[in-house]
């Protein structure tokens, strides 16, 4: 790596990372590994505000967590060795092996990553809601809502779907759009269903679907996707009271042979998440700032890959900044390496989302037949996503 001069003339570059979800601390850890001085700025006032829900980290994402040094901390989480598909009658359809995948509580994953970042010397600042980015020839400044600012040699926007960094550096970028799905996530306890033994169960229903796993203790984590088409003239789905939403879901699952109704009924608090996607951006970077994770490419969760894509982005960006001395050229290399894979994963997520939407008899018949055939015929389809491995040692060459 060539010598890189910084704002202050020293050889240590300072990176400002905005957002402390999944991508932010992962980027911060990876940038520390290549010797950058890193400050992580998060909008929430305190760490405990970052809780809620669970998500799957697929084998590709798990490998990145291992590279970042956070494997053992997640040992308490659910090991998801396969995803098992059933139809609305409970009939087994197919299975995808996902060796090494984890189903983790989101808040816990955030905490483990954040603590690892702090341990590696990253300065983590809460209560720092970014409102603007000012790019200058030899520095970049982040301006925060609390009237403070911070200056660095480069800035990485890890501030998610509604990224303020993206709005600030590329105001012409497409807006995110509501997809017509609302996910609901819950945790409950069951004594009437057996543990799922390292399997994530995915049950397609007559109107909607549920995915869940049950631990040995009877603790259940579940999520379902209700179809709520966008209303003309509205860009966001209407608000709805929690109890009304619970009743709507119970009605959606009526007639299905799955534990959905029990889980929905016995979950103390259900949380509702409209699903959005971001249209493809032409650029993932501008000047001294670049975007990582959902800020660059939010996809629906139907491939279970959003967090894993953010993790892959993080180490790839660090490799590029390690090997390509010019920051702009390093950002360009990062986009060139990541964009084709991300586009392919986004297409897979959209395809999976379409199969959830099979609401009529013909659609369900096709789905029941296509899923086993599709999965059998191309185990490769799941493998190209899950088997992806980043070689940290392999050098990145600018422009190649
Ligand atoms: C219902 C649902 C289920 C999902 N399930 C899965 C799954 O099973 N597997 C999977 O891989 N992915 C899943 N995803 C997608 C996954 O959650 C995202 O892809 C992932 O969280 C992206 O990480 P990120 O760090 O880029 O963004 P985020 O996790 O959104 O983190 C962004 C961070 O930036 C902070 N921030 C925002 N604005 C500012 C600002 N102005 N200033 C400072 N900080 C700011 C936020 O507070 C937050 O901490 C799911 C998504 C949803 C909605």
Domains of the chain from N-terminus onward: 14-177+277-386 (3.50.50.60)
Please, where are the H alpha helices in 210-325?
A: 242-252, 260-266, 294-297, 306-323
pLDDT at 398: 82
Taking the CA of residue 273 as reference, the ligand 1 atom at the shortest distance is 1
Residues with a CB atom less than 6 Å from ligand 1:
18-24, 41-44, 50, 55-56, 128-130, 158-160, 164, 183, 185, 273, 275, 293-295, 301, 304-308, 310
Which of 18, 21, 132, 293 for a ligand 1 pocket mutation test, highest count of atoms within 8 Å of Cβ?
A: 21
Helix, strand or coil, per DSSP, at residue 295: helix
Handedness of CA 331, 333, 334, 336 (dihedral sign): positive
Name the residue of 17, 18, 19 to mutate for ligand 1: max ligand atoms within 8 A of Cβ: 19
Q: Return the ligand 1 atom nearest residue 308 CA.
A: 11
Of 74, 98, 298, 301, the one to substitute when testing ligand 1's pocket (max ligand atoms within 8 A of C-beta) is 301
pLDDT of residue 378: 45
* Cα 339 to Cα 116, 161, 284, 331, 367, distances in angstroms: 27, 17, 9, 12, 30
pLDDT given at position 87: 87
| Global confidence as pTM | 0.93
- Torsion sign, CA atoms 380, 381, 383, 387: positive
Q: Output the CA 22–ligand 1 centroid distance in Å.
A: 7
Gap from CA of 158 to ligand 1 centroid (Å): 9
Are residues 193 and 86 in contact, defined by beta-carbon separation less than 8 angstroms? no
Span from the CA of 399 to the centroid of ligand 1 (angstroms): 30
pLDDT of residue 93: 85
Taken as a whole, the chain contains a residue count of 400
CB-CB neighbours of 70 under 10 Å: 21
| Structure confidence at residue 300 (pLDDT) | 84
Mutate to test the pocket of ligand 1, among 209, 222, 273, 294 (most ligand atoms within 8 A of CB): 294
Ligand 1 centroid to Cα of residue 160, in Å, is: 5
The ligand 1 atom at the shortest distance from the C-alpha of residue 24 is: 25
> What is the full per-residue pLDDT of the chain (400 aa) written as tens digits?
444 556 666 678 999 999 999 999 999 999 999 999 999 999 999 886 556 789 999 999 999 999 999 988 898 899 999 999 898 888 988 888 899 999 999 999 999 999 999 999 999 999 999 999 999 999 999 999 999 999 999 999 999 999 999 999 999 999 899 999 999 999 999 999 999 999 999 998 888 899 999 999 999 999 999 989 888 788 888 889 999 999 999 999 999 999 999 999 999 999 899 999 898 999 999 999 999 999 999 988 888 899 999 999 999 999 999 999 999 999 999 999 999 999 999 988 887 766 665 556 666 566 666 666 666 654 566 788 999 999 999 999 887 6
Alpha carbons within 13 A on the beta-carbon side of 27: 34
């Amino acid at each position: 790596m060539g010598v890189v001069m910084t704002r202050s003339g020293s050889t240590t570059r300072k990176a400002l990372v905005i957002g402390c979800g999944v991508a932010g601390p992962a980027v911060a850890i990876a940038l520390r590994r290549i010797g950058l001085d890193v400050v992580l700025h998060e909008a929430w006032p305190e760490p405990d505000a970052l809780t809620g829900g669970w998500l799957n980290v697929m084998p590709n994402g798990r490998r990145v967590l291992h590279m970042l040094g956070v494997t053992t901390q997640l040992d308490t989480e659910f090991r998801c060795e396969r995803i098992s598909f059933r139809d609305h009658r409970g009939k087994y359809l197919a299975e995808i092996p996902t060796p090494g995948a984890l189903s983790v509580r989101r808040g816990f994953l955030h905490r483990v990553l954040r603590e690892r970042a702090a341990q590696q010397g990253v300065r983590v600042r809460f209560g720092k809601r970014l409102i603007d980015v000012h790019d200058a020839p030899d520095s970049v400044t982040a301006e925060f809502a609390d009237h403070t600012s911070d200056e660095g040699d480069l800035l990485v926007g890890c501030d998610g779907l509604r990224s303020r960094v993206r709005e600030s550096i590329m105001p012409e970028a497409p807006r995110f759009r509501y997809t017509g799905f609302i996910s609901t996530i819950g945790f409950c306890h069951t004594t009437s269903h057996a543990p799922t033994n390292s399997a994530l169960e995915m049950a397609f229903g007559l109107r909607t679907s549920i995915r869940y796993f049950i631990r040995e203790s009877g603790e259940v984590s579940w999520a379902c996707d209700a179809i709520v088409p966008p209303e003309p003239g509205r860009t966001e789905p209407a608000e709805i009271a929690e109890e009304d939403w619970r009743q709507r879901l119970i009605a959606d699952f009526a007639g299905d042979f799955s534990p959905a109704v029990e889980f929905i009924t016995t979950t103390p608090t259900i949380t509702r998440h409209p699903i959005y996607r971001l249209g493809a951006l032409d650029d993932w970077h501008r000047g001294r700032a670049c975007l990582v994770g959902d800020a660059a490419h939010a996809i629906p969760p139907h491939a279970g890959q959003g967090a894993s894509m953010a993790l892959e982005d993080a180490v790839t960006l660090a490799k590029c900044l390690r090997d390509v001395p010019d920051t702009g050229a390093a950002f360009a290399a990062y986009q060139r390496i990541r964009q084709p894979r991300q586009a392919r994963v986004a297409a897979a997520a959209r395809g999976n989302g379409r199969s959830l939407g099979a609401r009529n008899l013909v659609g369900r018949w096709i789905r029941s037949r296509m899923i086993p055939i599709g999965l059998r015929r191309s185990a490769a389809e799941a493998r190209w996503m899950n088997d992806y491995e980043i070689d940290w040692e392999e050098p990145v060459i600018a422009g190649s």
